[in-house]
Every structure is written in structure tokens, then in C-alpha cells.
Amino acid sequence: MKKINLIILSLIGAMAVHAQDYNDALLYSQSFSEGDARFMAMGGALSSLGGNIGAMSVNPASSAVFKKSVIEFSPTYIYTKSENHYLGYDKAFTSLLKVPSFGLVGYKALKANDVFISGLSFGFALNSQNRYSETIDYTGINNNSSLTDDFVRMANANKWDDQYNTLAYNSYVIDYAKTVDTYFSDFIDSLGNKSYGEFQDFTIERDGAKREILFNLGVDFSEYVFFGANLSFSNFYYSETKFLTEKDKAGTKDFLDEFTYSTKREVEGTGIGGKFGIIARPIEYIRIGGAIHTPVINNINEDCDFVMNASYDQAINTEGATTAKDAKYTTFDYKVGQPAKFVGSLGFVYKNVVNIGVDLETMNYENCELRSDLQSMTDPNKQITDELQKVTNLKCGGEFRYGPFTFRAGYGMYGNPYKNIKVTHNTYSAGLGLATNTFYYDMAWMRSVSEQYNTLYTNLAGKDVTANSKIKRDYIMFTLGIKF
């Protein structure tokens, strides 16, 4: 294929921003709370038991259960493995050292009065709510389609996107045959004949986290009812880089050697919301908890880079160049409405020896909303209604104390947020603790196993080419706490 004529496309319908969709709304609304080692070891099922800084993010009444002031710090090693299925089987790994949980609670005992308030607590905590770090890699020989098919399909339909197929045209990856009035590539010629067999390497690198900074007030009503409220500030950073490389490893193409289309998104966001919770002790051994998390409007700033790099076996212009590059850079501000969450919990306590907790959370992702002052969000919000649904999350955990030692285990099962895609997300955890009157030291391991589907591109028939991955994330966490 030779570049016939590089012209200025006067009819290009430039799309100035990355197209938001229901996946963006879900990404910034989902929460999988990370707390200290005790919280993680028990699968996060501490909403009815309380007395835990991590649990303050789920049920604010947790702080009112404390009988001493505490401060704690929780360094964590996180190892993520992706098992990827596309044209074959691939694996990828990432690891990092973080502090997902830090906090303190100040407790003050009060004398009984007319409203029977026996204690007040004031808390501050930094707890992670979601983790984005992972690497995914799909490789193999594709004998059925190419990313260039999508470039050609859109061009022949006179649909131009200056973040996408326009870059391919300006970088000589697709061309125009004036004699037959059609666009073509090295994989589909001007007569529609197809010739595939290229090597594909599709890599996704994600990083970042969603965090919550909370200020908490807890009230103890004579150890029968505990009430708590949070003022919560959420902030998150999300980075996603995608590389799709197609290479003529077999040397069957006379013109194209290889090209890489890459996109990079960097997202920063903030939001503010409230949480209210209660824990009741109707009888000595039973704890009943409930909490409401208010909706949150997250303010999002997104920067995107779109780059096409290509190399050729022949000269592509009169200067004799054999490489080409084109790029587009955009920025966009918008809002994501995060729906309310409701938490119900039940706990069993036996003589401070055995603790068992069960949490049930519900959240309706159909109520997510995208807003923008610059463009209509009608279509993305319709996608949200059509593609997302209400979820119910179940978390359970228990601990057994023997002298100064505590043994813990937990399990979590998170609901599928998609109506038309079947995915699972489960957690498994265990831990060990050592406590005295003045300090505590806890260790925990938790494995999170989830599934995801990634759309790589659209083929010539306009159908999505997808791949699936299983993400296994292991946490090894240590918490050092001091009581005073």
C-alpha cells in the first residue's frame, strides 16, 4: 500500500473529548472498603461489632463502641496477578507497598445524665475505598480481524474521530483509493479482499486508588445504643494506559511493518458526603447495626492522550520517511453522581471470646448519573439504566480470642453490577492478633478474586472484539495500634 494523497479532511467530525459511558460511572462509584488488619481479616464484617477504625467507613457508630482512645497505622503489601484469555493465555503481575488505613479515635467517658449518654468519641481516619492497580496483557496471532478494520469501517461510513481513525489516516495506517472511492488498509484492500495473520499485543496498565478522609462523631447511650455520623471527603486518582500493537512478524505485508495505537487517561476527582449509623444491643450477646451513606457528587477532571505510531518497509513520502506519528490531547471536566448505600448488619458476642459479624450492603448503580456543562449526557445515562443494576454484597467474619491472641477469618461475596455481563467478585481472608492493655498488633491476609471483560476494538461488521481476565489481588497487612 502506498500513500496516494495526504489531504486535509474538511468533513472530519472532530470529537473533542473522550466519550464517557456507564463504565466510568461504575468505576468511580464502586467501593470495596479497605481498613486495618482486623477489618480485612474479618472480611470487613464489623458494622455491628464496632470498635474498629476501618469499620467507621461502613458504619460510623463503630467509633462509639471504643472504651479507650486509640491510634493505629497499617502498612500493606499488595500483589496483583491477572490471568488473561484472548488469542491464548497470558499472565501479568504488579506489586506495591501502601498505607490503605490510618486513623485515631479520642474517647471521653461521661457521667450518666438525663439522656443516658455515657461516652463520646471523636474520630479521624483515612481508608481506601477502591484499588485500581493492575496490568493486563493479551497477545497472539489474529487470523480473523485487525484494529485497522474499525478505522476502515468508520472512514467508509464518513465517521471521523480525531482521537481515533483520523490518527490512522494521518499516520498512513489506512489510505484512500480515489478510483473506487473507498478507504483500505494492508489487511483489507480497496476491493474488500482480506488478509490477516498479524501478531497483536494489547496491554492495559492501570494505577490509582479511591480514598476516603472522614471526621467522625460517636455517642454511646449507656452501652445499649451507639450512634455515629461521618463527614466524608472522597478523592481518587485513576490512570489507565492502553497499547494495541499489530506487527507483521511473518513479513507478508509489503508496506506496513507495525503500528501502535495508545491511549492514556489520567483522572482526578473529589466528592463530599455524609454517613449515619447505629448499633443496638437488645440483649447481651446480640448486636444489630444499620447505616446509610448519602449520595455523592464527584467532580472529575480527565486528561487524555491519543497517539498513533507506525513504521513501514517502504518510504511513505517524498522525503523517504519510513515512520509516522500523529497525536491528539484533550481535557474534560464532568461530574459523576454516586448513589446511596444502605448497610444492615448482625453480630454475635460471647464473653469477649467469640465475635461473629454478618453485613449486608445494597446499592443501586442504575441511579448513577453523569453530568456535564459542555455536552449532553443523555446517551451515557441511558446506558447506565440499560446496563447497570442493583447489587447486594454479603460479608461475614469471625474471631476467637485465646489469652492475648486472636484468630480471625472472613469471606465476602459482592454482587454483579451488570445486567448483561456475568462477573463475580469474592474475597477470602484470615489473620492473627496480639493485644495488651496498651497496644495491639494485628496481621492479615486477604485475597480478592474478580472477573472483568475488556473491549479491545470493533471489527469490520461493527461487533466488539473482547477479551476476559481474572484478577487475583493479595493483601498482606500489618497494623500497629496504641491505646491511651
Name the strand (E) or helix (H) holding 167: helix 165-170
Residue 327's alpha-carbon distances to 23, 36, 234, 306, 309, in angstroms, are 25, 44, 33, 5, 9
pLDDT at position 15 is 33
CA distance 278 to 259: 58
pLDDT in tens, 194-205: 999 999 999 999
pTM of the predicted model as reported, rounded to 2 decimal places: 0.89
pLDDT at position 320 is 85
- Residue 4 predicted with pLDDT over 60: no
Name the strand (E) or helix (H) holding 150: helix 147-156
Q: Give the three-state DSSP class for 100.
A: strand
Cβ-based neighbour number of residue 382 at 10 Å: 11
Look at 20-29, 158-167, 222-231 and tell me which has the smallest mean pLDDT: 20-29
Whole-number average pLDDT of the chain: 93
- Residue 12 predicted with pLDDT over 50: no
- Residue 414 predicted with pLDDT over 80: yes
pLDDT at position 317 is 85
pLDDT at position 113 is 60
pLDDT at position 213 is 97
- Residue 11 predicted with pLDDT over 50: no
Identify the band that residue 115 occupies on the pLDDT scale cut at 50, 70 and 90: low
pLDDT at position 112 is 63
pLDDT at position 352 is 86
Joined grid coordinates for residue 2: 502506498
Residue 152's φ and ψ, nearest 5 degrees, are -65, -45
pLDDT in tens, 421-478: 999 999 999 999 999 999 999 999 999 999 999 999 999 999 999 999 999 999 999 9
Dump the DSSP string for 208-260: EEEEEEEEEEEEEETTTEEEEEEEEEEEEEEEEEEEEEEE-TT---SSEEEEE
pLDDT at position 375 is 87
- Residue 8 predicted with pLDDT over 70: no
pLDDT at position 319 is 85
Cβ-based neighbour number of residue 437 at 10 Å: 8
pLDDT in tens, 460-472: 999 999 999 999 9
pLDDT at position 13 is 32
Over residues 303-322, the mean pLDDT reads 92
Identify the band that residue 175 occupies on the pLDDT scale cut at 50, 70 and 90: very high
Joined grid coordinates for residue 110: 461521661
Over residues 233-243, the mean pLDDT reads 96
477-482-484 Cα angle (round to 5): 160
